[in-house]
Structure 1
Amino acid sequence: MWMTDDEIEYYKARSKFISGAGCFIAVAVVILILIVSVFSFASKVLDLMEPKDRQLFVSKSPDQTHAIKVIEKGRGLSFADPTVLISYKKYKIERQLNNDRKDLAADNVSINWNNNEEATVILYGDEQYPRVIQFKVPEKGEYPFQVIKEDLDIITLLSRQSPNHVNVVELRRKRSLGMPYANNPPVEVYYGKIGSSLQKYDAPYADQQHRMDFFEIIWHDDQHATIHAKQHLGKGSTRLVSTLEITLN
């Protein structure tokens, strides 16, 4: 059956309409995809630009009563050297580390507890000498952090007295530029009676195979102590990498 001229014109117009509608829908879909992509990209850029703090680790006192938090301040897209935030309850102290503009890791900060209320905080960076901060649980109105002058040749990492305050064991390390594991300066052990001139242990305490991030001194009595060297593994976990037994006369 032959179509009339009116029917032919109708189908032509209908085809043009459908074709035009299809093109419009295709263009609309492309524009929508572009808009979504632009917003997604902009969101990612803004997310990168927004500084976000990152917790490196939490160090607790031997009796688990006190905790010092170590946080890397967010830098966003900034190329400045990183800043570490050390906090205890409402008290905070910030220090910028010369770390070749690289992000910080747990081993950039070492915290060694001398007892349940005192700790030594040491800040390391690839392009700086270690910086020492002493911490003491504050009395009312006191500030717990004290920055030690940075021109010391020897850094006392940890000092622990025996149970009856007869003897003391100290761990010391020579001040050197950069991270401690880069040139691996040994830790020297000193011991003796409190108030006397301490003797140096025969051999330095060093482990060429493992990084030693922080230490513990455990007294068993007034003459016997064990030194543990530990390593941060991230997410709050640690690993024992070395042990040294000390016997005092």
Structure 2
Amino acid sequence: MGVKDSYKHKGMRRSLVRKLREKGIANERVLEAIGTVPRHVFFDEIFESHAYQDKAFPIAEGQTISQPYTVAFQSDILEVKPGDKILEVGTGSGYQCCVLLELGAEVVTIEYKEKLSLLAQKMLGQMGYQASRYLVGDGSLGCQEYAPYDGIIVTAGAPIQAVEVLTAQLKPGGRLIIPVGDLTTQRMVKITKVSESQIVKEEFNNFAFVPLLGDKGWKK
């Protein structure tokens, strides 16, 4: 890994993992991934003290790096198995992608904003991570070219119309994790595609994400 990752950073990650346990994250594979990915690398050095606090933080293009609890929660309910093909809608900083890669996923990640996609690809390369595909485009439509997927994770707040098109790109048994709501608050939703004719929907707590842009998202 071509980045600075000191004993201090590792200690801060251990502290973060303890906080996530206290908040109810019990998935040991997810906790190990969070404890491995050097989140501070995504921060300018002047803001490094914020890197292992359990909060979102602004990045380029008016976006944010997600709160660690949110990343852990979504990764947990996605139920990633090694070798799963996962579509990530919203590359953002690339932090969630790193966690998915640590969980053994084959990740196709799509980002609406080209600048963010290029920055994330460069950053992940420096860290020794590599997604299968870095795409620029309308993630609200998913990515039919590489479908079907074992899982789809959406890292931006979506209107309800995004659910159907993304669910259609799942394999039988596949899971869609998507925050659904308005522009300020969303409820985390898990769709399990039991078969082509049957889905199971579960709803969890409220979260707040930046808006999902695109044809089935919020218009820019």
User: Structure 1 length as normaliser, TM-score?
Assistant: 0.33
Higher-strand-fraction structure: 1
- Structure with the bigger RCO (C-alpha within 8 Å, sep 6+) is 2
Instruction: Report the structure number with the largest CA radius of gyration.
Output: 1
Structure with the larger helix share: 2
